[in-house]
Amino acid sequence: MPADLFARRPIELTTPEYYRFWVALDAEGDVAGPRDLAVDIGAAISAELFSPPIFAALCSPDLTTAAERLATYKPLIGPLRLDIDATDGLRITCVWPSGSTPPALLGITELIFWVALARIATRERVRPARVTVPGATVSSTSVDTYFGTRVRAGSDYSIAFASADAGRPFLTENAQMWRVFAPDLRRRLADLQVSATVADRVRAALVETLPAGDASIGAVTGQLATSARTLQRRLTQEGTSFQAVLAGTRESLARHYLGAGNLRTAEIAFLLGYDDTNSFYRAFKGWTGTTPDVVRSAAGGKT
């Protein structure tokens, strides 16, 4: 996972990062011994487990309406969209980003969620009419038992409910609460693509790696869980480069440290990842046309 994940707003993962997270969960489950983590996750879902999109689904009058609402706001939860077919009962199909294959645990958990939602909202042991997963995905006895039907091999992850279950009234329906949540969900959906630039993330990573004496792109890609090639390409798309961001970050930090007046120049050079003070002097002169001592004198600090 990127080291700066929880320092960013919004907190989100790329599709490969999200998939790696689920692969790691699956591997951890294997280490812990025989278990079906997807079933455990389904059992853990409750009306008290607050998530605005899920809570909005529980406010729906029935499963079909809940599916239609979540199909709109699913991008707030994960990297997939939902195809809803309500012509004869209800069929929900997971459509993943083009060219990607979701981990089996993730795919099955997405289907288990719909059964858990239906059972929580109706207080009935709703059973899907049909559950399909890609042919290569292995199901298990406990998963089949949870669904109450045998999981079948198919071309996609999909789940279908009979008309009676798709229209079964939700005991959790709350039209007034839905009116409260709907505007915020629409705003969050509109804001989904608004996030820190790649250059911003590189700067934040450099603030962590420079004091350790490592100004390399490798240190930054390690922090951000990406490759050097990908990072350079995305910075180029933003009209900059790693070296430009590195120089800008060092200059900004240098001015901050010099203005604070409580660090010696040699200490600042160390904090900026320079091997010696002379290298820092040359770089600072290149950035500003003056020397650190001039800025330091103006602030009345140490040299």
Same domain? For 14 and 98 the reply is yes
Q: Out of 140, 163, 190, pick the residue that ends a domain.
A: 190
Of these ranges, 135-139, 204-208, 285-289, the one predicted with the greatest mean pLDDT is: 285-289
Q: Out of 190, 210, 245, pick the residue that ends a domain.
A: 190
Same domain? For 36 and 174 the reply is yes
pLDDT greater at residue 37 or residue 118: 118
Q: Out of 172, 190, 208, pick the residue that ends a domain.
A: 190
Same domain? For 180 and 216 the reply is no
The predicted model gives 187-206 an average pLDDT of: 70
Same domain? For 86 and 178 the reply is yes
Same domain? For 42 and 147 the reply is yes
| pLDDT score for 142 | 87
- Total domains in the chain come to 2
Same domain? For 169 and 241 the reply is no
Per-residue pLDDT of 246-263, as tens digits, reads: 998 898 888 878 876 678
Beta-strand relationship, 158-161 and 81-85: unpaired
Chain mean pLDDT for the chain:
83
Residue 242 has pLDDT above 90, yes or no: yes
Same domain? For 112 and 208 the reply is no
Same domain? For 22 and 65 the reply is yes
State whether residue 160 is helix, strand or coil. Answer: strand
Separation of first and last alpha carbons in the chain: 41
Residue 40 in contact with residue 113, Cβ under 8 Å?
Answer: no
Given pLDDT bands bounded at 50, 70 and 90, which one contains residue 193? very low
| pLDDT score for 288 | 87
Same domain? For 110 and 136 the reply is yes
Residue 108 in contact with residue 38, Cβ under 8 Å?
Answer: yes
**Domain extent for 179:** 5-190
Verify cis geometry, omega within 30 degrees of 0, for the bond prior to 61: no
Same domain? For 183 and 208 the reply is no
